[in-house]
Amino acid sequence: MSKIYLIAGLGADTRLYNNIDLHEHDVTPVDWIDPDKSDTLNTYAQKLIHQYNIVPNSVIIGVSLGGMITVEIAKQIPVKKAILISSIKTNNEAPGYFNLFRTLPVYKLIPGKLLTSLGFLVKPMFGQMGEEDAWLFKDMLKNSSPFFIKWAMEAVLHWKNEIIPPNLYHINGNKDLIFPYKRIHNATAIVNDGTHIMIFDEAKEVNKLLKAILKK
């Protein structure tokens, strides 16, 4: 049985893992903690390590932003497995629009409270889903910290990682609009029809992949 830590994505919480079956393992959901304005993803990862007492030889699973933080954790302590879902592992995999927002940082002009009210964009950005699922994603966004979202957007856009830590596994979908799979190098698996929220709406396939990875 592995000790597993689950890290969600931006604008979400660990309810994102509701459809993931890890009952055979010792699972700790990682809730977001308040960052300092000067924190990078690297220093924020350090804080999570201390806050949750993440020890060597643990398994870290991260979705989207959580995957990037998983990389930073795995660079600081030796992990048994670092599993990224719908994420990127280096800045070379970042989508082209990152450069646009670095050059024209219009996101800085948007109040953080407004960003948590953009639930109507959930379906267009993440893929079609039922009303119950859409409600959950809107609720996660609505209950996110405006300060955290603004900080995370800045930290993600200026992430300059070029190191791929050992024992890293990378799962992406071929219909992910946030992190297009064509920019992902040496993925462990590409999920057919997988969107950015495939951990939720393609959970059967993701569970199968996770089970195989955890058995290795």
pLDDT at 46 over 90: yes
Give the whole-number percent of the chain exceeding pLDDT 90: 66
- Whether pTM exceeds 0.95: no
Pick the closest to residue 143 from 7, 9, 13, 6 (CA basis): 13
Residue 127 has a pLDDT of 57
How does residue 8 score in pLDDT terms, banded at 50, 70 and 90?
very high
Residue 111 has a pLDDT of 57
Residue type present at position 10: L
Residue type present at position 206: V
Residue 181 pairs in a beta bridge with: none
- Dump the DSSP string for 84-106: EES--SSGGGS-THHHHHHHS-G
The answer to whether the Cα torsion of 106, 110, 116, 117 is positive or negative is: negative
For 206, the enclosing helix (H) or strand (E) is helix 203-215
| pLDDT one-digit tens code per residue, 82-127 | 999 999 999 999 998 888 777 776 656 565 555 555 544 555 556 5
Instruction: Return mean pLDDT, the chain.
Output: 88
Residue 30 pairs in a beta bridge with: 7
How does residue 216 score in pLDDT terms, banded at 50, 70 and 90?
confident
Q: How far apart are CA 172 and CA 88, in angstroms?
A: 9
How does residue 155 score in pLDDT terms, banded at 50, 70 and 90?
very high
For 28, the enclosing helix (H) or strand (E) is strand 26-30
Assigned token pair, 1: 């049985």
| pLDDT one-digit tens code per residue, 127-148 | 566 666 777 777 887 888 888 9
Q: Please name each of the domains of the chain with its CATH number.
A: 3-215 (3.40.50.1820)
Q: How far apart are CA 122 and CA 202, in angstroms?
A: 16
Q: Indicate the DSSP class of residue 111.
A: -
Residue 120 has a pLDDT of 45
